[in-house]
Structure formats: C-alpha cells, structure tokens
Amino acid sequence: MKATRTLAALVAASALLGGCASQSSQPSYANNGYNNGYANGYDNTASTGYGTIESIQVTNGEGRTSGAGAIVGGLVGALAGNQVGSGGGRTAATVAGGVAGAAIGNRVEANREGAGQQQYAVNIRLDNGEYRTIVQDNVYDLRVGNRVRIVDGRVYRY
C-alpha cells in the first residue's frame, strides 16, 4: 500500500512537472510592430524575401529544452526524497525531491544545449511593406540600412 501511494505521488509529480518543464526558446522583449502573424513575433521559417534592415538587437538566447532533463531530474529527486523520513514526511520529501530534481534537471539540460549564447534579432522592412524579425546567431557584415535578402530563415546582404 505504501509503495502504491509513493508511486502514485511520483507519477503525479512527474506529470505536473512535465508541463512546467518546457520553456520558450526565443527571447522575450517587445517586438515594436515586427509581428508577422506568429505568436512570439519571430519568423525563422520565411523562405525568401527582400528588404532593408531597420534595427539589430542583441539578445541572450535561452537554452532549448525537450523536457527530458526535467523528467529525469524529477525521477532522481523523487527517489532520493523517498529515502528520507517515514509516513507523511516521506511523501512530502518525495514530492519536494521531485520538484527540486526537475528544476535542476531542466537547468542542466538548458545549459548543455548552449543557454546564454548571444543571438541577434534583425528587424527588416520588406519591399512589400511587411515587417519581419529574424533571430540568428551572427550578423557578420549586416548593418542598419543594408539591403538584404531572407533565404530559409537567414538574412544575407543583397
């Protein structure tokens, strides 16, 4: 009976934390009207377009996580917490260990995937009047006012 209750608490904690594990992989700041129909204002799927760079913003990228780190961390934390105390204290320790383990596991996975890398949000006014923001890892020779071409979600001088 005790093992069933512990297992149920572990499964419930894992399911709860699984929903909390995913984080946006895009930086969050005001897009100043550069929204092209996407919820977060970024479009790295645009195939081709021509325009002029209106601004370039430097951002710190967040690590993209799949949630696997949170799940594994939650399981390990819950198992470690289950070794502490007895009765209701053990159940509380199991849940607390699962929560802490999931948070740590998610952060470890995000760091492993390259969190904090500098990215650039290039705001472009297309020739057809639309505004588009492309986020990429470098801007080599791109400057405000340059004529550019967007190909497969990357910006190139034209």
| pLDDT digit string, tens, across residues 51-77 | 999 999 987 765 566 788 888 888 888
> Around Cβ 51, how many Cβ atoms within 10 Å?
22
Q: How far is 132 from 37, CA to CA, in rounded Å?
A: 10
Q: Which 8-state DSSP code applies to residue 73?
A: H
**How distant is the alpha carbon of residue 31 from its chain centre?**
17
Torsion over CA: 8, 24, 154, 58 (sign): negative
Q: Is 50 helix (H, G, I), strand (E, B) or coil?
A: strand
Q: How confident is the model at residue 155 (pLDDT cuts 50, 70, 90)?
A: very high
Which domain range does residue 55 map to? Answer: 2-157
Most confident of 34-38, 106-110, 140-144: 140-144
From 131, 156, 140, select the one nearest 33 (Cα to Cα).
131
pLDDT in tens, 107-130: 888 777 555 567 889 999 999 999
Does pLDDT of 49 surpass 60? yes
pLDDT computed for residue 148 by the predictor: 94
Q: Which range is least confidently modeled, 40-44, 78-82, 94-98?
A: 40-44
Higher pLDDT among residues 37 and 134, named by residue: 134
pLDDT confidence of residue 14 = 60
pTM: 0.43
Mean pLDDT (whole number) for 32-39:
43
Long-range contacts of 17-20 (CB under 8 A, 24+ apart): 17/70, 17/71, 17/74, 17/98, 17/99, 17/102, 18/67, 18/70, 18/71, 20/70, 20/102
Residue 107 has a pLDDT of 82
- For residue 39, pLDDT over 60 is answered with no
Mean pLDDT for 129-154 is 90
